[in-house]
């Protein structure tokens, strides 16, 4: 382990009670909550707090349902009915109620919600750029130190507990380190640079950092998640396709029985698929335009009228962003590693959404609730261990892509490894529709790539953007291996683990699959534990 | 992907350099920033919101670059169109009160 306590003058070295990594909604709520509870908080964000992550670019619909309301009961019943037996009522209730409070707080603090035709303040949707800019101001006021353009590269540990993190500033090239009593991982999901909207900074870094510390994951097989977009664009906004008619090259209407995405995926494997949003009346068309302006950028700038003209569509991979898997956490957001907490897309959402996508409300609702809990949990943990951490010697845990295990080899290129990971994860016939032999072969190729990257990949001495890219590359390879190994171990189809060789759901497999490991990936079944995060 | 920094309009505030989540721009002293890493652009359009003078244009093509004509973009009303549709003015947020997203939940096809 390298000693990170010695620093040059140009470097940034800070001390905090709580360090939050990732400034999307979950990180923003974690940082704000910890600060409001009296902790000294640093928030380090790869991009910019306000534009980074999936919410900033995408906008999010929310579950906003008050205690004892019919809407709340309906939302709970709906979640339970589609979760394939892996969610539980107590968790769902706790998440919805926590998020409800926070959505109302936003109004009290001055976020302007629209008023609907019934004259009521409508709180079931947040505009990403506005919401996160608003949170940024709130964080500033609460005294949180924000480090923008500052991706974390590794966790620091002292005596078996997490004691901070270190990274680099992409604009100034400065190294930074923050010594803290607790760290919150809120780095979002992993979409493998698929160009799904707002996801290219989401390369699964937080999961790699945590797994290097021995953290456990769950639900990594529920990642056969793709977003529908006009083929040429990044706009993976699926909601408008609820009013779409899909056709093939010859104009034949595609049957839409069952899962809309599966139909599109099956047909995309045969040829181009087109959509036209021909089932929306004038009032709804105006609602779409004035509710989600980003949906129309692709059309207006290409001169397409999506309500009358058909346009080609594609499916872009979203993985754990709108899928399910991530770090296993308890009620306080704590992982199994002392001092390490997680929230949002970086954490598993199985208790809430089971085996299906949490897009369209649950995920953004979870980001708020889990963020608040991780902020509380990390703050309380810091309070218990006090400022002792200032003096603990700290070592960096980072390996692959940062500190190669053998001699760095300049001919070993990050882009080759990125392509290697993408080739196993992005194609519909590998990861939307899965088969045992296909997964087995994928895992073999990924393990080979991992061993080579682990031994030789390094960007030491190169500009910050390359150093970050090398680490992201390692993270994507690691995430790919957990995804494929977990999908192999679930020998059934359940939710978004679609196994062509096991098309049915097997009641005997109604339990979670835990995973983890760095050089040796492991997967093991777990009986459903009500205690986890409920 | 990002295709234009209008030298006519840019006031060299460097806001886009700080705000781009993908670190696409490099800043320059008293000069418009350069699009230093165009292929890292994730086509999120957010830099357009952070530019106070509508000097940036992001093409909707996510996988390819295209050449754009500034005069034509101005004439067709596309330069700054995202900020106008959102209700952001001079990089100051606004317009959430006009969000009509709730209409998408009226006919019962979508539920959260
Ligand atoms: C197009 C789209 C539309 C969506 N719509 C909905 C919806 O309508 N309803 C819904 O419920 N959900 C929706 N989702 C999902 C929702 O956006 C996410 O669940 C939510 O953003 C998760 O919040 P988060 O804070 O965990 O992650 P993110 O918002 O993704 O933020 C993670 C942050 O961590 C940063 N980061 C990553 N790595 C590092 C590192 N190494 N160091 C420091 N920082 C790092 C990233 O830059 C990013 O800013 C949508 C997703 C997409 C892609
Ligand atoms: S579109 Fe997004 S990623 Fe591209 S330059 Fe603008 S802010 Fe950066
Ligand atoms: S934000 Fe606009 S005005 Fe400011 S530097 Fe960028 S392009 Fe120029």
- Over residues A34-51, the pLDDT tens digits come to 999 999 999 999 999 999
pLDDT (average), residues A436-450: 98
**Spacing, Cα A339 to ligand 3 middle (Å):** 41
Number of domains in chain A: 3
What lies within 8 Å, CB to CB, of A67 at 6+ separation is A97, A100
**Spacing, Cα B24 to ligand 2 middle (Å):** 7
Residue A48 with chain B: CB contacts under 8 Å? 18-21
Q: Which residue of B has its CA nearest to A75?
A: B112
Q: Are residues A371 and A410 in the same domain?
A: no
Q: Is residue A73 part of a domain?
A: no
Q: Are residues A299 and A365 in the same domain?
A: no
pLDDT above 90 as % of chain A: 90
Q: pTM of the entire structure?
A: 0.97
The answer to whether A235 touches A197, Cβ cutoff 8 Å, is yes
A129/B93 touch (CB, cutoff 8 Å), yes or no: yes
Q: Quick one: pLDDT at residue A171?
A: 96
B42/A195 touch (CB, cutoff 8 Å), yes or no: yes
C-beta of A204 in contact with ligand 1 (< 6 A): no
- Say whether A229 sits in a helix, a strand or coil: strand
**pLDDT tier at A2 (50, 70, 90 boundaries)?**
very low
Q: Are residues A235 and A380 in the same domain?
A: no
Q: Are residues A151 and A269 in the same domain?
A: no
Residue B81 CB neighbours (<10 A): 20
Q: What's the Cα-to-Cα distance from A49 to each of A42, A138, A287, A464, B73, rounded to whole Å?
A: 12, 12, 28, 19, 30
Q: Are residues A163 and A303 in the same domain?
A: no
Burial class (CB in 10 A: 0-12, 13-18, 19+), A252: exposed
Is the pLDDT at A118 greater than 80, yes or no? yes
Q: Which of B43, B49, B97 has the CB atom closest to A129's CB atom?
A: B49
Q: Quick one: pLDDT at residue A168?
A: 98
**Pocket perturbation via mutation, ligand 3, pick of B6, B10, B36 by most ligand atoms within 8 A of CB:** B10
How many alpha carbons lie under 13 Å from residue A322 in its C-beta half-sphere? 24
Number of domains in chain B: 1
Q: Is residue A119 part of a domain?
A: no
CATH number of A182's domain? 3.50.50.60
- Say whether A276 sits in a helix, a strand or coil: strand
pLDDT (average), residues A343-354: 98
Residue A289 with chain B: CB contacts under 8 Å? 85, 100
Instruction: Please identify, among A334, A364, A390, the residue that sits at the C-terminal boundary of a domain.
Output: A390
Domain range holding B74? 2-106
Domain range holding A473? 401-502
The answer to whether A434 touches A224, Cβ cutoff 8 Å, is yes
CATH number of B9's domain? 3.30.70.20
- Say whether A420 sits in a helix, a strand or coil: helix
Q: Are residues A266 and A207 in the same domain?
A: no
Q: Are residues A215 and A232 in the same domain?
A: no
Q: Are residues A439 and A472 in the same domain?
A: yes
Q: Which of A122, A234, A360 has the CB atom closest to B102's CB atom?
A: A122
- Over residues A211-220, the pLDDT tens digits come to 999 999 999 9
Is the pLDDT at A1 greater than 80, yes or no? no
**Spacing, Cα A445 to ligand 2 middle (Å):** 33
Ligand nearest to the CA of B58: 2
The 10 Å CB-count burial string (b at 16+, else e) for A290-310 is: bbbbbbbbbbbbeebebbeeb
**pLDDT tier at A531 (50, 70, 90 boundaries)?**
very low
Q: Quick one: pLDDT at residue A8?
A: 52
Q: Are residues A48 and A197 in the same domain?
A: yes
Q: Quick one: pLDDT at residue A411?
A: 76
- Over residues B10-47, the pLDDT tens digits come to 999 999 999 999 999 999 999 999 999 999 999 999 99
Q: Is residue B17 part of a domain?
A: yes
**pLDDT tier at B112 (50, 70, 90 boundaries)?**
confident
Instruction: Please identify, among A317, A343, A359, the residue that sits at the C-terminal boundary of a domain.
Output: A317
Is the pLDDT at A86 greater than 80, yes or no? yes
B63/A48 touch (CB, cutoff 8 Å), yes or no: no
Report the alpha-carbon distance of residue A347 to residue A333 in Å, rounded: 9
A53/B21 touch (CB, cutoff 8 Å), yes or no: yes
**Spacing, Cα B18 to ligand 3 middle (Å):** 10
Q: Are residues A414 and A488 in the same domain?
A: yes
Q: Which residue of A has its CA nearest to B68?
A: A301
Report the alpha-carbon distance of residue B98 to residue A263 in Å, rounded: 35
Report the alpha-carbon distance of residue A182 to residue A381 in Å, rounded: 7
Q: Is the ipTM of this complex over 0.95?
A: yes
Distance from CA of B28 to the nearest CA of A (A): 12
Q: Are residues A20 and A169 in the same domain?
A: yes
Report the alpha-carbon distance of residue A505 to residue A495 in Å, rounded: 9
- Over residues A172-187, the pLDDT tens digits come to 999 999 999 999 999 9
**pLDDT tier at A412 (50, 70, 90 boundaries)?**
confident
pLDDT (average), residues A143-156: 98
A284/B59 touch (CB, cutoff 8 Å), yes or no: no
Nearest CA to ligand 1 atom 30: A53
Is the pLDDT at A4 greater than 70, yes or no? no
């Amino acid at each position: 382990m390298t000693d990170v306590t010695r620093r040059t003058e140009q470097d940034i070295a800070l001390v905090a009670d709580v360090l939050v990594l990732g400034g999307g909604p979950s990180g923003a709520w974690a940082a704000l909550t910890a600060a409001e509870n009296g902790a000294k908080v640093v928030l380090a964000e790869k991009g910019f707090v306000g534009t980074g992550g999936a919410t900033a670019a995408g906008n999010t619909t929310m579950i906003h349902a008050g205690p004892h309301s019919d809407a709340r009961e309906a939302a709970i019943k709906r979640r339970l009915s589609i979760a394939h037996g892996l969610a539980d009522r107590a968790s769902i209730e706790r998440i919805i109620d926590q998020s409800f409070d926070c959505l109302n707080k936003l109004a009290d603090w001055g976020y302007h919600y629209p008023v609907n035709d019934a004259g009521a303040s409508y709180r079931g949707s947040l505009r990403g750029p506005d919401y996160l800019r608003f949170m940024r101001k709130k964080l500033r006021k609460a005294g949180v130190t924000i480090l923008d353009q500052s991706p974390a590269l590794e966790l620091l540990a002292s005596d078996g507990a997490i004691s901070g993190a270190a990274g680099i500033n992409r604009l100034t090239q400065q190294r930074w380190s923050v010594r803290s009593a607790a760290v919150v991982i809120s780095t979002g999901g992993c979409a493998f640079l698929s160009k799904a909207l707002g996801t290219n900074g989401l390369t699964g870094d937080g999961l790699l950092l945590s797994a290097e510390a021995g953290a456990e994951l769950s639900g990594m097989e529920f990642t056969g998640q793709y977003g529908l977009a006009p083929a040429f664009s990044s706009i993976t906004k699926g909601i408008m396709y609820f009013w779409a008619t899909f056709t093939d090259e010859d104009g034949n209407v595609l049957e839409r029985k069952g899962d809309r995405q599966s139909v599109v995926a099956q047909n995309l494997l045969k040829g181009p698929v087109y959509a036209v949003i021909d089932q929306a009346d004038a009032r709804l068309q105006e609602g779409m335009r004035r509710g989600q302006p980003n949906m129309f950028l692709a059309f207006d700038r290409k001169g397409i009228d999506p309500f009358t003209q058909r346009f080609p569509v594609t499916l872009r991979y979203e993985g754990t962003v709108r899928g399910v898997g991530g770090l296993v956490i308890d009620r306080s957001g704590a992982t199994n590693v002392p001092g390490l907490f997680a929230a949002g897309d970086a954490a598993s959402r199985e208790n809430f959404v089971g085996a299906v996508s949490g897009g369209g409300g649950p995920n953004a609702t979870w980001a708020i609730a889990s963020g608040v809990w991780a902020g509380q949990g990390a703050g309380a943990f810091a309070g218990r261990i006090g400022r002792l951490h200032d003096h603990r010697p700290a070592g960096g845990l980072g390996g692959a892509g940062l500190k190669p295990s053998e001699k760095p080899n300049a001919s070993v290129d990050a882009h080759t490894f990125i392509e290697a990971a993408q080739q196993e994860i992005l194609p519909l016939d590998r990861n939307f529709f899965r088969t045992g032999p296909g997964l087995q072969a994928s895992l073999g190729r990924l393990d080979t790539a991992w061993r080579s990257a682990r031994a030789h990949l390094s960007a030491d001495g190169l500009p910050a953007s390359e150093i970050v890219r090398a680490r992201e590359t390692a993270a994507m390879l690691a995430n790919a291996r957990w995804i494929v190994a977990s999908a192999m171990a679930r020998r059934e189809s359940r939710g978004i683990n679609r196994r062509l060789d096991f098309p049915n759901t097997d009641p005997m497999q109604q339990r979670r699959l835990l995973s983890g490991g760095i050089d040796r990936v492991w997967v093991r079944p777990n009986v459903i534990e009500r205690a986890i995060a409920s | 992907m990002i295709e234009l920094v209008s030298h006519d309009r840019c006031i060299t505030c460097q806001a886009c350099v700080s705000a781009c989540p993908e670190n696409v721009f490099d800043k320059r002293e008293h000069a418009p920033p350069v699009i230093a890493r165009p292929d890292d652009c994730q086509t999120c359009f957010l830099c357009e919101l952070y530019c106070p003078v509508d000097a940036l244009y992001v093409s909707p093509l996510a996988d390819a670059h295209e050449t754009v004509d500034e005069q034509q973009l101005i004439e067709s009303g596309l330069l700054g169109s995202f900020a106008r549709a959102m209700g952001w003015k001079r990089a100051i947020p606004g317009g959430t009160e006009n969000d009509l997203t709730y209409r998408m939940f009226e006919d019962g096809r979508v539920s959260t």
